[in-house]
Structure 1
Amino acid sequence: MSKRTNLTLLFVLLLSTAVTASARVRLSPSAFGSRFAHALVLGATDREQDGLNGPVRRVKTETAKIAVKSGKPVEGARAVLETTTYDQKGNRVDNAYFLAAGGSITGKEVYKYDDKGNMVEMTLHNEDGSLLAKEVYSYEFDAVGNWTKMMTSVAMIEGGKLSFEPSEVTYRTISYFLDESMMAKMSQPAAQPAASSAVVQP
């Protein structure tokens, strides 16, 4: 067995300890509570996960009742159910939803990302703008720059002060094809993406 073959096998074994490099995490609120459900979605931006194509900026979803008049279906007035805003990378940056069609807004989500598109903060606000819930996410990365560990922490108020309590940890095992670019990346220290300093506004 040649040295090149041995080297290839060695790197494959090393990298096998680290689902695909483009996996993303999508987070959504659970019944307006303080906990958020996590769903791992492979190879898609938030915009693509929502079934949208192209550089979509904002989507307003409306519904209308249909009544039969004089034997014909007639569409009534439209009522807003939800509005969603995306940034240029396809990340969902704002989501406002209504408990009843056409009613007052019941909640608004705001997201913050690091420079690699990893979500680092999610807040849920009430209709009056007050904070309902907040979670922050910290990561550990491999040599390629993909996260392999994500720590979720929930905002807590104790003694009148805001703090964050770890609530969940998520691990990803990532396997790569071995090529020259991978060899170069494996010889460098892991890159740690920097967090954005402000929430992206629609």
Structure 2
Amino acid sequence: MPLSIQQQQQQQQQQQQQRQHQQHQQQQQQQQQERRQQQLSREADPRMAAIFSKVSEQYGELVNFIIRPPRDVYSDEELGPRLFTLGGRLYQRTDLELVNRREMRLQCSHYEPVLPPGKTQKLPCVVYLHGNCSSRLEAMSALPVLLPLNITVFAFDFSGSGRSDGPYISLGFRVDCLLREWRSEEGSILAL
């Protein structure tokens, strides 16, 4: 007597479940064998334990170097004058401090053209994200390119970098919080 379609589907599902179960068991057995081999090799050669220990220690140092690099220390003078000219046009640097959600103070600078009294103008803004072991000073190289194009520049020290608070750098993980905070204070649209 032929099987109904429903019975065929049930049979196929059971076969598929059996295959998945077998694959899972094979994976577990393979992982157990690998763990046994690692343990045996460490026990068989005490030097391997020392090597594993040293590698682990060096890995920890590498991770620490990435998340706790040396801070870029700089003076106010290195940020340049608060008012400066570029291509015959007057610009200003406004320094400000934002507090992130982790209650860390982030040191920031906003570079923009000086407008005549009473005149306002919404301009696009590039938020400059400095590299590892660096600071907002890095953005200075972008000013001669962006400011003459009527693009303002917002630069900041990541937490754990430059003059900002924090023992670790975030590697940009929480930049969205900074942008949200600055945007709410400035009320302007940011272009990244």
- TM over 0.5, shorter chain: no
Whose Rg is larger? 2
Normalised by the size of structure 1, how large is the TM-score?
0.31
TM-score under structure 2 length normalisation = 0.32
Q: As a proportion of its length, which structure holds more helix? A: 2
